[in-house]
Amino acid sequence: MPISAAPVPAPVAKVGDASDALDLVADVLVLGGGPAGTWAAWAAAAAGAKVVLADKGWCGASGATAPSGTGVWHVPPDPVQREEARASRESLGGFLAERLWMDRVLDRTYDNMAQVAAWGYPFPVDEHGQQARRSLQGPEYMRLMRRQVLAAGVRILDHSPALELLKDDYGVAGAAGVERRTGRRWRVQAQAVVIATGGCAFLSKALGCDVLTGDGGLLAAEVGAEFSGMEFSNAYGISPAFASVTKTAFYRYATFYHGDGRVLEGAGSARGRSVIARTLLTEPVYAQLDQAPESLRESLRKSQPNFFLPFDKAGIDPLTQRFPVTMRLEGTVRGTGGIRLVNAECGTGVPGLYAAGDAATRELICGGFTGGGSHNAAWAMSSGYWAGGGAAAHARSLGVNAASRRPIGAGRATLRSAPGSRTLDHAAVVKAVQDEVFPYDRNLFRSTAKLNDSLERLDQLWQAVQDHPEQTARDVVRAREAAAMTATARWMYATARERRETRGMHKHEDFHEQDPAQRRRLVTSGIDRIQVRAESASETSVLAKAAA
């Protein structure tokens, strides 16, 4: 342990009872305070709604974007450039995206980035004196979003993870959770809820991702929401072996090496990532960004200060020195699967429940592969904006009788077990789930036999994770995270088993080719018993239907 910070026993915050709970009433409750959540909260407030935003961490520092830097799918409304943008990733995504959704995300992102500029984000200026709005520095962007949300009158509850949704016969009506530091319970009764809790990276320590444990998916499933694209959930980010920084863009300039200095043939950050993974199964892999043009080297440093941070601290120059790399699971954070959306407002089909950002499916614009932050950033700000507006409109539509609703908690796993049941060892569950989803030769390279094998153990874990945790704030939150990760892993593998082909990021060792007959989405539902059904793009094109 470090000599400079001797550990002291941490005070254990017991979960409080209902008598000292924080009770709030709002029109819209947003769960999650990353890009999607802050845009949702801002849009709902702009539409006149009274809004509460609850973040598991601290809105502004929490999530995958804040500690990062991200490209943005920002394309001027020029027909040629827009066509290139739409076409660029259709093949990588396995042709599961929809052009109507791409168009509206491109439009919305263009406008939202103008709003970000109007708020004073210090965009760089190009040689023509124009602001370049193709990227955002994470800390700056999220600090700005927190300020804007507060300025819009939104009440933020930091360090306040939701444990369950509230519902009644009219649909979702708020959420309840716990304040992690004090153990005080909170309950927000709201006419609509936006889930913007991010994806699930299974506590892999990928940059900023340890708060992203699939919590929102579990909340949504417990009230009957469905998922789409859960087979596209095996994204891995390259990082230095010792560090957390999974920013992969600059590895386009990398050469990958064996330990003895030989070049690792076929390895690359885009299509050659499988070669790196296969090699890592048996030996260390090294990288050096030796293909970065001399003229770009200063630009790289200016573009992503955080990329260089672990190298600078470790005394490594990644441009001139080799360093060991690993691949950390980013799951559905950089995958595309998530809560299924059924309308243009990012509704989930459950009345009063909306989803945005990485918590929602991104198949609509990416199909089965995102290839990086740019689409995800555009999706987060667009879907957040729509979900917030949709939630505000839903709240308005309920009218004056809304105040008389008496919703009850819809949570199940870890929350409703019988007294006297066993005490849940959530750390053991997390480790067991990680053992199923981390290995490259299980999750990245899939096969029917391996998926069946993992699902058998994951189904058993799902039984175990019903037990009651210790009633401290940390334990109840960790237990729900363990349950959410277990559920997410089961949805992933149950869905992957039904896609008997290789498409997008889903690589199947028994079926190496893309099968034209399987150009359709897979919809997943259920918690205790999981069901998967196929739906064609024409069935899912809610926008086309709305326009017809």
Partner 1 sequence: MIELVSQDRCVSCGICVRVCPTQVFDNGAKGIPTIARQEDCQTCFMCEAYCPADALYVAPEADRPVQVDEATLVAEGKLGKYRASLGWGTGRRSTAQEDDSFRILALAARAPTAPPQAPAAPTAPGPRP
Residues 214-243 that bind partner 1 (CB under 8 A): 240, 242-243
> Cβ closer to partner 1: 160 or 495?
160
CA–CA gap between residue 257 and residue 111 (Å, rounded)? 43
Q: How far is the CB of 464 from partner 1 (least distance, A)?
A: 22
Stretch that binds partner 1, among 42-50, 94-102, 297-305, 402-410 (CB under 8 A): 297-305
- The interface mask with partner 1, positions 71-100, x = CB under 8 A, is x-----------------------------
**Of 42 and 308, CB closest to partner 1:** 308
CB of 436 to partner 1, least distance (A): 19
> From the CB of 405, what's the least distance to partner 1, in Å?
32
- Would you state the structure tokens that stand for residue 511, as one six-digit string? 């079926």
Residues that bind partner 1 (rule: CB under 8 A) add up to a total of 80
Of 253, 354, 491, 511, the one binding partner 1 by CB under 8 A: 253
Candidate residues 22, 139, 393, 527; the one interacting with partner 1 per rule CB under 8 A: 139
Q: Tell me the CA end-to-end span of the chain in Å, nearest whole number.
A: 65
The DSSP code for 18 is G
Closest CA to 497 of 442, 538, 540, 535: 442
Nearest residue to 491 via CA among 235, 233, 236, 237: 233
Cβ-based nearer residue to partner 1, 7 or 419:
7
Encoded tokens for 530: 């999981």
Q: Which of 21, 46, 58, 457 binds partner 1 (CB under 8 A)?
A: 58
| Among the residue ranges 44-52, 306-314, 390-398, 507-515, the one whose residues contact partner 1 (CB under 8 A) | 306-314
Closest approach of partner 1 to the CB of residue 97, in Å: 20
The yes or no reply on residue 324 touching partner 1 (CB under 8 A) is: no
From residue 144 to residue 183, the character string flagging contacts with partner 1 as x (rule: CB under 8 A) and all else as - is --------------xx--------------------xx--
Q: What are all long-range contacts of 305-312, with beta carbons under 8 Å and residues at least 24 apart?
A: 305/69, 305/137, 306/67, 306/68, 306/69, 306/138, 306/207, 306/245, 306/247, 307/69, 307/245, 307/247, 307/250, 309/245, 310/240, 310/242, 310/243, 310/244, 310/245, 311/240
- Please, which of residues 180-199 interact with partner 1 by CB under 8 A? 180-181
Site for partner 1 in 9-48 (CB under 8 A): 10-11
DSSP per-residue string spanning 353-401 = EEE-GGGB--HHHHTT---SHHHHHHHHHHHHHHHHHHHHHHHHHHGGG
**Candidate residues 26, 36, 54, 66; the one interacting with partner 1 per rule CB under 8 A:** 66
- Considering only 22, 90, 107, 255, the residue that binds partner 1 (CB under 8 A) is 255
Report in angstroms how near the CB of residue 5 gets to partner 1 at its nearest: 4
Rule CB under 8 A: say whether 252 interacts with partner 1: yes
- And the tokens for 21? 């709970």
How far is CA 311 from its chain centroid?
A: 26
Q: Which stretches does DSSP call E strand in 303-349? A: 323-330, 338-339
- Choose between 240 and 367: whose C-beta lies nearer to partner 1: 240
Residues 109-138 that bind partner 1 (CB under 8 A): 121-126, 132, 134-137
Q: Which is nearer to partner 1, 74 or 394 (CB)?
A: 74
Among 91, 299, 531, 536, contact with partner 1 (rule: CB under 8 A): 299
* Closest CB 205 distance from partner 1, rounded Å: 5
Cβ 109 to partner 1 shortest distance, Å:
15
Closer Cβ to partner 1, 229 or 240, answer by number: 240
- Verify binding: residue 2, partner 1, rule CB under 8 A: yes
- Spatial CB neighbours of 146, under 8 Å, sequence gap ≥ 6: 33, 38, 59, 60, 156
Among positions 269-288, residues that touch partner 1 (CB under 8 A) are: 272
Between residues 20 and 126, which has the closer beta carbon with respect to partner 1?
126
With binding defined as CB under 8 A, does residue 60 bind partner 1? yes
Nearer to partner 1, 68 or 454 (CB): 68
- DSSP secondary-structure letter at 9? P
Q: Which amino acid is at 433?
A: V
3-state SS class at 491: helix
Give exposure, 144-174, as e/b (b: 16+ Cβ within 10 Å).
bbbebbbeeebebbbbbbbbbbbbeeebbbb
Q: Which residue, chain included where needed, has tokens 């080799």?
A: 322
Residue 135, both tokens: 């990227």
Q: Does the protein bind partner 1 through residue 314 (CB under 8 A)?
A: yes
Q: Radius of gyration (Cα) for the chain, nearest Å?
A: 22
